Amino acid sequence: MSGSSNIVAMKKVVQQLRFEANINRVKVSQAAAELQQFCIQNALQDPLLTGVSSSTNPFRTQKVCSFL
């Protein structure tokens, strides 16, 4: 019956909301500080931030010099 399946669906919605309501939440200021720390700590190893030098850039077509 569509009536009882609606009730089953609604029970699941309530169950899910109960679960989500019960989690612990951290302050945004703390979460932000930790994210900033992560980004800054890893900045020097981030090639797209620091730039890739042409000699070590695997995507740059290498020009080959040969002696004739």
Site residues for another protein per CB under 8 A: 6-7, 10-11, 13-14, 16-21, 23, 25-29, 31-36, 38-43, 45-49, 52, 57-60
Task: Give me the least distance between CB of 5 and another protein, in Å please.
Answer: 12
Integer CA distances (angstroms), 60 to 33, 46, 50, 53, 64, in order:
37, 18, 17, 10, 12
Q: In angstroms, give the least distance from the CB of 15 to another protein.
A: 10
Q: Report d(CA 7, CA 9) in Å as an integer.
A: 5
Closest CB 19 distance from another protein, rounded Å: 7
